[in-house]
Structure 1
Amino acid sequence: MIRLFVDHPLSPGVVLEPSADQARYLTGVMRKGIGDNLLVFNGRDGEWRAEITEASKRSCVLTALERTREQAVTPDLELIIALVKRNRLETIVEKGAELGCRRVRLAITRYTQADHARTDRLAAIAMEAAEQTGRLDVPEIVAPEKLDQILEEWPQGRRLMFCDEGGGVQPALKSLPDDEAPWSVLIGPEGGFSPEERTRLRGMDFVVPVGLGPRILRADTAAISALTLWQAAKGDWRS
């Protein structure tokens, strides 16, 4: 069944007006009309079955009928990704949403080649991935910040899984401590981290350096691999 994210409180009988793009998708692409059902969610009130009660070529109106799933909380998993080329960055955001990230934070490192990103485009990609994968929330996309600033403002009690391509570290599944702390996963740019960045990261007590195998991975492959390993070791894949 079609699923849509809506930024509106959900309860029985609530009337919803999808965005123009969502309405065109429902009525123009999927050929849905009055009386057809779909699922909607807002990240707060669970998932609801809704019915199309008004429809035209450019708009439609939905009415929420009943809750089909209670709101679930995703693991407090954040992906910090250095800015990379647009296509790869979009893939990383999409796969991060599919793999259960609660947040994707964009970082600027010494060897970062890109210096900006369309966060609105990335947010739309994250929303579409959430709709397709059945999750009940949409990952937050945080605008680019310098890695130094992110580290200086690091929240107490949060751990950082530092995917260190420089070697000399244990594989990820042997390195992650057995605790319930919230986690972030850090992936560098195409050129890797600078020696100064690696030294700083490896000297911080909240950082856990890990290896992702014997081969050098592209940023998108590294992000998918790291998130998969974390989910298998500490996330909701265990349930």
Structure 2
Amino acid sequence: MVTTPRLYVDAPLDDGAELILPREQAHYLVNVMRREAGSPVRVFNGRDGEWQAVVADASRKGASLQVETRLREQVGVPPLRLCFAPVKKARTDFIVEKATELGAAVIQPVITRRTQSERVRTDRLMALATEAAEQTERLCLPVVSEPVTLERLLADWPEDHRLIFCDEAGDGEGAWGGPQGRARPMLDVLRAEPDPSGPWTVLIGPEGGFDDAERARLRSLPFVRAVTLGPRILRADTAAVAALTLWQALAGDWP
């Protein structure tokens, strides 16, 4: 079975349009995928749907495509944003890749008091998100935003968004996961909302969780919904996947 390559292009798509591929994409198509003139390629740009194209020219110097037929009309993703505290490089990469696959519209790194990895290259994360979108049939790219502090994130909060705060701490003595003050299960919280499908943000904390002041601040805000993701403490990358999956299954575009 021969797989047709699928590429994101930052150019208008229409019947008969000619696309000159950037060097990296030309290298991938010609040298990695071994495509020649006449080979089919699928392309999308996040605005005009997905189109069938063919390789018009392929050489060591570059490659161009000829756009032929629209395959799918443009559709977006639900209004879901993921905010997360950056962790180690490989796990941050995993979070961005899986958030793209799971349909997050915006991916926002957030610097908290316990964040251990504050250096974030959004250009590299955007490249990862683009590759994930190409591989998973998504028709648009997520927005990968520059990091902000938790204080700035909350100060600039959009009025129509609700925030899912993944809070596993509880208020028991000494106690991560103590029995007092535990959040409610995420699905119960979503089912209690009059309209669970509106704009939402999922917030995932750093390794070690939010500190007491951050947690108290979050719990005090009217747009925040504190939730638990089960009886076990999840790593940040696992928690991100779990929370996005639960939201999509109940309120997103999976049903």
Find 2:163's aligned residue among 141, 160, 184: 160
Q: Does 1:228 align with 2:231?
A: no
CA-atom RMSD in angstroms: 0.8
> For 2:57, what is the secondary structure of its paired residue?
strand
CA distance in 1, matches of 2:82, 2:105: 8
CA distance in 2, matches of 1:232, 1:62: 38
Find 2:10's aligned residue among 3, 7, 10: 7
Q: Which amino acid is the alignment partner of residue 172 of structure 1? A: M
Q: Which amino acid is the alignment partner of residue 212 of structure 2? A: P
CA distance in 2, matches of 1:94, 1:20: 23
Stretches of structure 1 lacking an aligned partner (at least 5 in a row): none
Bigger mean CA deviation after superposition, 173-182 or 4-13: 173-182
What does 1:130-209 align with in structure 2 at a 5 Å threshold? 130-167=133-170, 168-176=182-190, 177-179=193-195, 180-209=197-226
Structure 1 equivalent of residue 227 of structure 2: 210
Bigger mean CA deviation after superposition, 102-111 or 169-178: 169-178
Stretches of structure 2 lacking an aligned partner (at least 5 in a row): 171-181
CA distance in 1, matches of 2:215, 2:194: 24
C-alpha deviations, 1:7-52, integer Å up to 9, x for none?
A: 0011111110111111111100110010011100000000000111
C-alpha deviations, 1:99-119, integer Å up to 9, x for none?
A: 000110010001111111111
CA distance in 1, matches of 2:166, 2:118: 22
> For 2:139, what is the secondary structure of its paired residue?
coil
C-alpha deviations, 1:51-83, integer Å up to 9, x for none?
A: 111110231010110100000010011000111
CA distance in 2, matches of 1:135, 1:2: 14
Identity of aligned residues (%): 53
Q: How far 1:178 moved relative to its partner?
A: 3.6
Structure 1 equivalent of residue 44 of structure 2: 41
Q: Which amino acid is the alignment partner of residue 189 of structure 2? A: S
Q: Does 1:127 align with 2:130?
A: yes
Q: How many pairs were matched up?
A: 238
Q: Which has the greater radius of gyration?
A: 2
Q: Which amino acid is the alignment partner of residue 60 of structure 2? A: K
CA distance in 1, matches of 2:95, 2:188: 24
After TM superposition, the runs of 4+ consecutive aligned structure 1 residues lying more than 2 A away are none
> For 1:135, what is the secondary structure of its paired residue?
coil
CA distance in 1, matches of 2:158, 2:120: 25
Structure 2 equivalent of residue 85 of structure 1: 88
- Output the TM-score relative to the length of structure 1: 0.98
Find 2:115's aligned residue among 102, 107, 112: 112
> For 1:208, what is the secondary structure of its paired residue?
strand
Q: Which amino acid is the alignment partner of residue 105 of structure 1? A: Q
Q: Which amino acid is the alignment partner of residue 39 of structure 1? A: R
CA distance in 2, matches of 1:128, 1:178: 36
CA distance in 2, matches of 1:59, 1:75: 37
